[in-house]
Amino acid sequence: MTKAKPVHKRILLKLSGEALMGDDAFGINRATIERIVGEIAEVTGLGVQVAVVIGGGNIFRGVAGGSVGMDRATADYMGMLATVMNALALADAMNKHGMTARVMSAIAIEQVVEPYVRPKALQYLEEDKVVVFAAGTGNPFFTTDTAAALRGAEIGAELVLKATKVDGVYTADPKKDPTATRYATLTFDEAMSRNLGIMDATAFALCRDQKLPLKVFSIFKPGALKSVVLGGDEGTLVHV
């Protein structure tokens, strides 16, 4: 049997911190992170170079109550530290799975993780290591969605994958409207004119301007990530 070939050589996977929680209220669910790592391992086994940008909502959620009334920049820096914690946990699980992962942070914490340096990140990808980008863009007021668009453009990713709880973008909330249908494809302009809220405006504009296609899919659907890189009818593709 001929082995299926991926249609994308290098991808950027955007994972929310909440994707690591499983059924827990906050924190990291070990079984969930191991399942996600297994999905990533399947893709790297096909020869796909993978970089990951991860959010910190699952960690920050545990202290969010204390952030009420806090200066926004201070709260954002706390969120960046939460992404570093998630990146370390994800990389540890990958290394235990037999993969080689490197964490690169946009803020300097050199005793813990190495700083983000674009040529070094590209070198790691060429060596078939998984690169996990932490601390967002390193700046307050910018989301990890924006970091995903930025890092995706910087490393020359062919596709940014936004992993969500639903298997694509729908005409309405499928949980509330059983008649809602999934968009197979959308242009960036169509998504913006319909206010679909796929990513924050800065991230969305960056993907559009860099002609960097975006795929929205469910990380909770077994085999969905592999299906995406093999060109299957999975999720919603947003393109120029």
Do the domain assignments include residue 65?
Answer: yes
* Residue 138 known to bind ligand: yes
Total number of domains in the chain? 1
Which residues lie across from 105 on neighbouring strands? 115, 134
Expressed as residue numbers, the domain containing 125 is 10-239
Q: What is the pLDDT of residues 74-133, one digit of tens each?
A: 989 999 999 999 999 999 999 999 999 999 999 999 999 999 999 999 999 999 999 999
* Residue 173 known to bind ligand: yes
The pLDDT value recorded for residue 26 is: 85
* Residue 57 known to bind ligand: yes
* Residue 16 known to bind ligand: yes
* Residue 144 known to bind ligand: yes
The pLDDT value recorded for residue 35 is: 96
The pLDDT value recorded for residue 62 is: 61
* Residue 200 known to bind ligand: no
- Looking up residue 184, the CATH number of its domain turns out to be 3.40.1160.10
The pLDDT value recorded for residue 146 is: 97
* Residue 164 known to bind ligand: yes
DSSP the chain: -PPP--S-SEEEEEE-GGGG-TTSSSS--HHHHHHHHHHHHHHHTTT-EEEEEE--HHHHTTTGGGGTT--HHHHHHHHHHHHHHHHHHHHHHHHHTT--EEEEESS--TTTSEEP-HHHHHHHHHTT-EEEEESTTSSTT--HHHHHHHHHHHTT-SEEEEEESSSS-BSS-TTT-TT--B-SEEEHHHHHHTT--SS-HHHHHHHHHTT--EEEEETTSTTHHHHHHTT-S-SEEEE-
* Residue 193 known to bind ligand: no
* Residue 217 known to bind ligand: no
* Residue 137 known to bind ligand: yes
The pLDDT value recorded for residue 4 is: 77
Do the domain assignments include residue 136?
Answer: yes
Do the domain assignments include residue 5?
Answer: no
Do the domain assignments include residue 4?
Answer: no
Do the domain assignments include residue 27?
Answer: yes
**pLDDT < 50 positions in the chain:** 1
